[in-house]
């Protein structure tokens, strides 16, 4: 039974676990990785977006851990405008990330939020960084703030030596 649980979460978390105020906290609140306080580990977890975006044109974003002792890593991310609305859409690059699907009941994601959340995929849990695309809305909405929660895990299937982190980054539309 534990093996099935580990495999299920290696392929991603429930939706709405980015640490954004409008979401349902992070994976430390769900009882999975709650042995240590949020952001209490020694790793550094960052979002690295491009410096600016053009309305409707995809940009690459990197989410990464550094100084991590974990054997497995994961993340979940969304983008919000200044009013707290989810904006833009995410698209995976390669097979280490996946866009969370509203059709999966374990993810609890509303249909309206299709494309609004991205996370590591099963093949991404042994990575410490992930690159993917985000396409902003067709008209500029500044600033856009990215919210991400990341998990640094020892890979043993228990909460021991598992740390959860949150981070944010802002990006604005480029000026003509």
**What are the sequence ranges of the domains in the chain?**
2-7+26-173
- For residue 14, the model assigns a pLDDT of 76
pLDDT in tens, 23-82: 876 765 655 666 678 889 999 999 999 999 999 999 999 999 999 999 999 999 999 999
Cα–Cα distance measured from residue 147 to residue 90, given in angstroms and rounded to the nearest whole number: 13
% of the chain residues with pLDDT over 70: 87
pLDDT band at residue 108, thresholds of 50, 70 and 90?
confident
Residue with the bigger pLDDT between 134 and 35: it is 134
- For residue 127, the model assigns a pLDDT of 97
DSSP one-letter code for 67: S
pLDDT in tens, 116-130: 999 999 999 999 999
Highest mean pLDDT among 12-21, 28-37, 88-97: 88-97
* pTM confidence score: 0.89
CATH class in words for 2-7+26-173: mainly beta
């Amino acid at each position: 039974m534990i093996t099935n649980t580990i495999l299920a979460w290696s392929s991603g978390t429930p939706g709405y676990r980015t640490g954004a105020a409008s979401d349902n906290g992070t994976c430390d609140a769900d009882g999975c990785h709650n042995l240590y306080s949020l952001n209490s580990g020694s790793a550094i977890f960052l979002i690295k977006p491009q410096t600016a975006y053009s309305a409707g044109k995809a940009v690459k974003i990197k989410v990464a851990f550094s100084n991590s002792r974990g054997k497995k890593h994961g993340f979940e991310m969304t983008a919000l405008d200044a009013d707290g609305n989810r904006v833009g859409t995410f698209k995976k690059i390669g097979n280490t990330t996946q866009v969370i699907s509203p059709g999966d009941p374990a993810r609890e994601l509303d249909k309206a939020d299709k494309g609004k959340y991205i996370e590591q995929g099963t093949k991404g849990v042994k990575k410490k960084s992930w690159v993917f695309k985000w396409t902003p809305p067709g008209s500029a909405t500044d600033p856009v703030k990215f919210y991400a929660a990341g998990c640094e895990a020892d890979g043993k299937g228990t909460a021991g030596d598992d740390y959860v982190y949150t981070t944010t980054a802002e990006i604005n539309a480029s000026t003509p």
